[in-house]
Amino acid sequence: MSTLDVAVRAPASRGERLDPLALLALPATAYLGIAFAVPLVLLLVTSVWTPAGLTIDGYVKFFSDSYGWRVMWNALRAALWTTAICLVIGYPVGFALARSRGVVQVLLLVALILPLSVGVVVKAFAWTILLRSNGVVNQMLLATGIASEPVRFIFTEAGLVVGAVNIFLSFMVLPIFSVVKLIDGRLLDAAATLGASPLHRFLRVTVPLSMPGVIAGIAFVFSMAISMYVIPTLLMGDRYQTMSTLIARSYLFMRDRSLGSAVAVVLLGIAVAVVVISGWLARRSRDVR
């Protein structure tokens, strides 16, 4: 290779090591660092640092008290119920949305996405109106004879789950829809020509191919449901504490920043664990296919 060739290739190799287009990501990276990374670091520091020095009293106070474990179980149970119901409802809805065509699909998408434009506070208040003793739900139950007297929904865990499912259902349907839409229908036809029954085709072909959407939907719904604050505050009040409401109570009323930060870190750890596990399951499902 001549000296001229080396001189010509050297700038190109330097350009490959530092792509100028990568600099376009700097503003977004800086924003994410300031808006998310810095507050999380401050939260971690606050959970183990007080004016008196380094301490883990917040964690000890939370985990050594049975009330803390009950609060964490309340949040986990509500999130699990919400995620399970969203999956049961959202899985067939995702298929119906993917298999529909034309105007029908557009109408279903509008019906699914339009509620996302309404704030959580508005929807939670709406459910307090629907679920109260003289609300629409109880009037329907009384009119149809299903119930002989008004059923209590407000300030119950069932009412909380109903309101949460209504708010988070779209986040289960959309990932499933996006994955199911990419499934090649010829695969099911090929399985049918090989003698597979409809149930066998569903369990061995459709379900494995749709698992990435299911895993993503579960991760989305569970992460948001376990950290919800407005919904339990409006539909349950102070009698039913979750981890989010305990964090707010620690900061606003108890003035215990150490406890509030510790609970927030535990909640963050659960959410991160869900994301990591869902990513691992998604990669494993791709490897199995």
- CATH code for the domain of 162: 1.10.3720.10
Count other Cβ atoms within 10 Å, centred on residue 280.
Answer: 11
153 CB-near residues (< 8 Å, 6+ apart): 131, 132, 135, 137, 138, 159, 162
Residue length, the chain?
289
CB distance 80 to 159 below 8 Å: no
**Residue 284 has what pLDDT?**
78
> CA 35, 40, 42 angle in degrees (round to 5)?
105
120 CB-near residues (< 8 Å, 6+ apart): 167, 230, 231
**Residue 114 has what pLDDT?**
84
Adjacent-strand bridge partners of 110: none
**Residue 20 has what pLDDT?**
75
Adjacent-strand bridge partners of 145: none
d(CA 249, CA 230): 13
**Residue 218 has what pLDDT?**
93
Residue 46 covered by a domain? no
Helix (H) / strand (E) element for 54: namely: strand 53-54
Two structure tokens written together for 71? 């609060």
**Residue 221 has what pLDDT?**
94
Domain range spanning residue 78? 66-288
Q: End-to-end CA distance of the chain, in Å?
A: 47
* pLDDT per position as a tens digit, 27-52: 888 888 888 888 888 888 888 887 77
Residue 112 covered by a domain? yes
Residue 196 covered by a domain? yes
Residue 177 covered by a domain? yes
d(CA 289, CA 286): 5
108 CB-near residues (< 8 Å, 6+ apart): 96, 97, 100
DSSP string, 66-116: HHHHHHHHHHHHHHHHHHHHHHHHHHHHHHHHHH--HHHHHHHHHHHHGGG
**Residue 10 has what pLDDT?**
46
**Residue 191 has what pLDDT?**
81
Residue 42 covered by a domain? no
Residue 217 covered by a domain? yes
Residue 129 covered by a domain? yes
**Dihedral pair phi/psi, residue 49, rounded to 5°:** -135, 130
Task: For residue 164, count CB atoms less than 10 angstroms from its CB and return exposed for 0-12, middle for 13-18, buried for 19 or more.
Answer: buried
d(CA 205, CA 104): 26
Provide the number of structural domains found in the chain.
Answer: 1
Residue 274 covered by a domain? yes
Per-block average pLDDT, block size 10, for the chain (289 residues)?
A: 46 56 82 86 86 84 90 93 95 90 86 84 86 85 84 85 91 92 82 82 85 91 91 83 89 85 91 87 71
